[in-house]
């Protein structure tokens, strides 16, 4: 018999209710073991090695990734592979976090005597607080689940959700204790948007050398137009005889000139340029230019060093750098 949409919604709501309750029960059961686990992670001089089998293995992989991206060197090891050589990756300085709902996962239990023999400390995330794994652990994080969301109470559902949140709580508590901030996060995520916004500076993307549109103020408007065409930025810097910026000549200035009776071949560009343009300097985050340029309704900006143009950036450069 095909279930109705109403039946689907009823089933979904039951799952939400069971899993939310499991998370709340787990939160209510937080004890000093959580503080002990956080201190073990903070005191670890090696790497945090997270292990788990089956669905718990997926949660373990996620926890390892979260720890690694928030300032704690960590990686996942499959318990089945560990007993066939991967155990060699674990050193006495490392810390093991084992995730097992029962606390009696055979593949993990096989490893623990060897790991304990070399002095590796153990944190266990489990619903079995009296289990073999819990008894061997320096810290136990209890995941309280009265039942799984699966109607047969078999498929790991509520237990894995509670373990996932417990892992997140551990990672974030340690993150805060380390003083891990946005800059640290960006260094762990250089390929992401946040990383680019916090790590890319003006000097990293600016055009330099002969790619900077530049012309002397005594040169003609026609010469300025040719320089703008050469670079294709829609503007050119205008400098004095010492190379110091005295203004810019933009597409907007050109449109205004064409509305007037001006000889483009002989009129100095300094007569029609925009004086005191918006500029920037090295050491400024490229992302900060986005707001600056939008607020001033400009599409390009010059980078100065003691009033000399040393770089130029337009919106296309910012888009290309991934900071917009």
Q: Is residue 185 part of a domain?
A: no
| CATH number of the domain within which 297 lies | 3.10.580.10
d(C-alpha 245, C-alpha 242), whole Å: 9
pTM: 0.65
Q: Write the DSSP symbol of residue 86.
A: G
Question: In terms of Cα–Cα distance, which of 230, 313, 311, 302 is closest to 222?
Answer: 230
d(C-alpha 163, C-alpha 233), whole Å: 54
Q: Is residue 191 part of a domain?
A: no
Residue 289 tokens read as 């230019």
Question: In terms of Cα–Cα distance, which of 233, 266, 265 is closest to 249?
Answer: 233
Percent of the chain with pLDDT over 90: 67
**pLDDT digit string (tens) for the chain, length 324 residues:** 455 666 888 899 999 999 999 999 999 999 899 999 999 999 999 999 999 999 999 999 999 999 988 888 999 999 988 766 677 789 999 999 999 999 999 999 999 998 989 999 999 999 999 999 999 999 999 998 999 999 998 899 999 999 999 999 999 999 999 887 666 565 554 555 555 666 788 999 999 999 999 999 999 999 999 999 999 898 999 999 999 999 999 999 999 998 888 999 999 999 999 998 999 999 988 888 888 998 998 999 999 999 999 999 998 888 887 776
Residue at a domain's end among 149, 180, 211: 180
| CATH number of the domain within which 172 lies | 3.40.50.10490
d(C-alpha 228, C-alpha 214), whole Å: 9
- 280 and 167 within one domain: no
- 173 and 112 within one domain: yes
Domain count, the chain: 2
- 316 and 269 within one domain: yes
d(C-alpha 175, C-alpha 196), whole Å: 21
Q: Is residue 196 part of a domain?
A: no
Return the pLDDT at 5.
65
Q: How many Cα atoms occupy the beta-carbon half-sphere of 136 within 13 Å?
A: 24
**Maximum pairwise Cα distance, the chain:** 93
Residue at a domain's end among 150, 180, 210: 180
d(C-alpha 162, C-alpha 276), whole Å: 60
d(C-alpha 90, C-alpha 46), whole Å: 9
Contact 142, 127 (CB under 8 A): yes
Range of the domain at 231: 202-320
Q: Is residue 307 part of a domain?
A: yes
Q: What is the DSSP string of 152-214?
A: TS-SSSHHHHHHHHHHHHHHHHHHHHHT--HHHHHHH-TTSHHHHHHH-BHHHH-B-GGGS-E
Contact 85, 38 (CB under 8 A): no
- 298 and 211 within one domain: yes
Q: Is residue 100 part of a domain?
A: yes
Q: What is the DSSP string of 101-157?
A: SSS--HHHHHHHHHHHHTT-EEEEEES-TTSHHHHH-SEEEE---SS-SSTTS-SSS
Residue 175 tokens read as 């993150």
- 224 and 167 within one domain: no
Q: Is residue 188 part of a domain?
A: no
Return the pLDDT at 1.
47
pLDDT digits (tens, 9 = 90+) for 32-60: 999 999 999 999 999 999 999 999 999 99
Spacing of C-alpha 260 from chain mean position: 52
- 313 and 243 within one domain: yes
- 208 and 176 within one domain: no
């Amino acid at each position: 018999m095909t279930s109705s949409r109403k039946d689907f919604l009823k089933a979904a709501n039951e799952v939400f209710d069971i899993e939310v309750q499991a998370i709340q029960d787990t939160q209510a059961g937080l004890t000093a073991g959580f503080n002990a686990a956080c201190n073990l992670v903070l005191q670890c001089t090696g790497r945090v090695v997270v292990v788990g089998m089956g669905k718990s293995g997926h949660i373990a992989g996620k926890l390892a990734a979260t720890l690694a991206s928030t300032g704690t060197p960590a990686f996942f090891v499959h318990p089945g592979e560990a007993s066939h050589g991967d155990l060699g990756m674990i050193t006495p300085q490392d810390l093991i976090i084992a995730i097992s709902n029962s606390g009696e996962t055979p593949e993990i239990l096989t490893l623990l005597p060897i790991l304990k023999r070399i002095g590796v400390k153990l944190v266990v995330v489990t619903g079995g607080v009296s289990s073999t794994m819990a008894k061997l652990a320096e810290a136990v994080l209890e995941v309280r689940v009265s039942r799984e969301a699966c109607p047969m109470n078999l498929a790991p559902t509520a237990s894995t959700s509670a373990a996932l949140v417990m892992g997140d709580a551990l990672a974030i508590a340690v993150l805060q204790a380390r003083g891990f901030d946005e800059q640290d996060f960006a260094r762990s995520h250089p390929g992401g948007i946040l990383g680019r916004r916090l790590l890319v500076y003006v000097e990293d993307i600016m055009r330099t050398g002969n790619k900077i549109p530049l012309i002397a103020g005594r040169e003609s408007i026609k010469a300025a137009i040719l320089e703008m065409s050469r670079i294709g930025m829609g503007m050119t810097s205008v400098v004095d005889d010492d190379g110091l910026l005295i203004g810019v000549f933009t597409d907007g200035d050109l449109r205004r000139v064409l509305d007037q009776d001006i000889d483009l071949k002989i009129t100095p560009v300094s007569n029609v340029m925009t004086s005191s343009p918006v500029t920037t300097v090295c050491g400024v985050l490229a992302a900060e230019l986005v707001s600056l340029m939008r607020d001033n309704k400009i599409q390009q900006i010059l980078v100065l060093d003691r009033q000399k143009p040393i770089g130029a950036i337009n919106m296309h450069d910012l888009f290309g750098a991934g900071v917009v």
